[in-house]
Structure formats: structure tokens, C-alpha cells
Amino acid sequence: MAEIPGDELSLRDILETLRRQWGLILSLPLLGLLGAFVYGFFLAKPLYASTATLGVRPLPGQDQTALPLEELRALAFSPEVAREVWEALEREGQLPPAWQEGGEGLGPQRMIRGFSLESQAIHQQVGFQGHSFTVVASLSVRAPSPEAAARAADLWAEAVVRRLRDLLSARVEAQLGFLEGPLAEAREAYRQAQAAWAAFWQSSSLERNLAELVFLQGLAQIPGQVTAVSDALPGEYLRMKSALVELESRLQAASGPERLSLEREREALRARLEGIEARMALLRERVARAWVELGEVTQTLELAKEAYSSLARKRLDLQLELALVQGALAEVLVRAQPVYEEVAPRRVALLVFGAALGLVLGVAGAFVKEALGPPARGSSARP
């Protein structure tokens, strides 16, 4: 069986020590209770709490809030917001004396120690008075009086809403300012593309060439038009070809002077057909070049129009977003009301803490006293 080392206390030694030092062990918890009682009922100043609730809606076309929770918390506890609330309370004459100590330098810091914020992201948007919010934040304030707590909570919520609107407005305005340069360039490019398109139609002979080509060859092989010859519009070339075929049939049956006359007429008709063929070849070449140029001009116009329209839509979206940010993107949902129930000091918790602390100190003191004092009678000698 293992032996207990000589420098370790056995259970019997611990119990003996507690029995011998019971007075010290009980006296310190009593002193802790007495101190907690005096502090909780006579020295500590009562504190009251009030809570205001604000909500932040998402921006258009987004499923998340305009400001992350971390940024919202940093904004709420910023020195600028604290000073704004402190100065408003001072102007209204509702600044508690405890928050006046230190003036404008330390006063806001003392005040904001009693501020707390609890925020929750609502993934499934919660309707409230016809609106939907993705973030609901509870802003609680502890103050020496119920009225001061309620007023400070309201002022805090209002200051956060104003600062939030200013912050988001500045961001949107910066985006709008950055967009002005590309938008002006896109507008000028679109204007130039329109002017080039109009200048093409003013200077181009495409319509005249097409009309002449239709007159000569009908509706066959004209870019952008019907590719089959119409019976209603056979074209001058086809009519002359038909006349030449008819003339050839007449020549087969003709003789003498009539034949000579028909031959001269045939030669003249062939010459005219050759001229028409040359003219049609020239017109086809002109029309083909004009169609290529028109396609380039039209494509440039469409691209410029799309670029300008895209930037214009983006600017409109930003303007709508700015109007929303400056309007009701964030607002106070529930204003704080004075609550006349004290939240501090928690007297029962103070008494329990005082007794527990005294007991721990009493037990520790008992063993320290036992170790430093002379050996008790009947105790075993230690090497």
C-alpha cells in the first residue's frame, strides 16, 4: 500500500485545519456579506435600462443588408456618435451628473460604457409596418434615471441612423462621381456613332444604286433583298433577253431585206445587253461595298448605344439607391420607453458573490495561518 508523502496534507489534516480555524473561515464570508450589503443598498447608485430598436433594409436587387453587422457595430460605438449623443443630452439638460465628469473629453467615454448593442441578421426578411428588414439592432442604454436612459437610447438610435445614411450616401455619391467620366465618354461615342450613321445615309448612293439595280435585273442577287426573280418585276435585262430570244426565232424564218433589218436590230440589242451587264456588275460592286460600310457603321452604333445605355442604367440605379439611402433605408422601429425597474446593482448577486469570495478567502487564510503558525498540539511532527 502506497504511503502518503510527508509534505502532503491528508484528508484528516484538512478537516482538522478547518475545525481549528472555523472562526476565521466563517468570519470572512460574514464580512463579505456585510460589504456586499453596504455597497448594494447604500453605496451603489441604481441604474435603469431602456432599449430602442432600429432596422436596416437591403439595397435594391440585393438580398443582404447595406452594411455588415461589424461595420454597424463600429459605427454605433464610434467617438463621433458618442459625442453627438452626449452633446444632445447636454443641450436638453438631461445629461446625468455621472456623465458630466471630465467634460467633453471624458464625458462621452463615461457615457458610452453603459451602451450595448445586440444585432441580428434576418435571412428570411421580417415584415414590419409594411417594410422588410434584414438587420434588426437593439440599442440599450444604462443610466442613473429611467428618463435619461430612454432619451439617450432614442438619441443614440437616431444618431446611428443619420451616420449610416451619411456613410452610405457618401459611398453612393462617390460611385456616381466615378461614373460621370465614363458616362460622358460613352455619350460622346454614341453621339459620334449616330452622326456617322446619319452621314452615311446622306452621302451614300446605296438607295439609288439599289433602285437602278432592281430596275435592270429585277429582284435577283441583291444583298438584303429577295433572291428570286419576281414575275411582276422581271427587270430590264431580262426583258431584253426575252426580246433577243424572240428576235432569234424571227430571224430563222426571215429572208431578204427583212433578215438584214432583224440582224442589225439583233446586234444593237446585244450591244445594249452588254452595256447593261457591265452596268449591273458595277452596281453590284458598289452595293456590296456600301453594305459592308453600312454594317460597320450600324455595328458601331449598336455597340455605342449598348455601352451608353448600360452606364445610363447603372447611373439610374445609383440615383435610386441614393434616394433610398437618404430616405428610409434605415429607421428607428421602436423608440425607447422609460423602465422604472432597476437593472443594477444586482443585490442578490452581490450578496452571493460577497459570501463566496469571503468563504474562499477564509479557507485560504485558514491554511496559510496553519502553515505559518506554530504546530498545533496533538499534530504529528513533520520532517
Which three-class secondary structure state does DSSP give residue 95?
Answer: coil
- Which distant-in-sequence residues (6+ apart) come within 8 Å of 21 by Cβ? 365, 366, 369, 370
* CATH number belonging to the domain at 47-178+324-343, selected among 2.60.60, 3.30.420, 3.30.160, 3.30.1890: 3.30.1890
List every span in the chain annotated with CATH 3.30.1890.
47-178+324-343
Measure the CA–CA gap between 161 and 64, rounded to whole angstroms.
18
Q: How far apart are CA 195 and CA 185, in angstroms?
A: 15
Given this model, what pLDDT does residue 354 score? 79
Label residue 380 by pLDDT band (50, 70, 90).
Answer: very low
**What pLDDT, in 10s, does the model give residues 58-75?**
766 555 555 677 888 899
Average pLDDT estimate for 126-152: 79
The identity of residue 125, as a single letter, is Q
Place of cell 452588254: 274
Nearest-angstrom CA–CA distance, 58 and 329: 7
Q: Mean pLDDT over all residues of the chain?
A: 80
pLDDT, tens digit (0-9, with 9 covering 90-100), for 325-343: 777 678 888 999 999 888 8
pTM: 0.61
Nearest to 361 by CA among 26, 19, 37: 26
pLDDT digits (tens, 9 = 90+) for 151-162: 999 999 999 999
What would the grid cell of residue 266 be? 439583233
Distance CA 83, CA 104 (A): 8
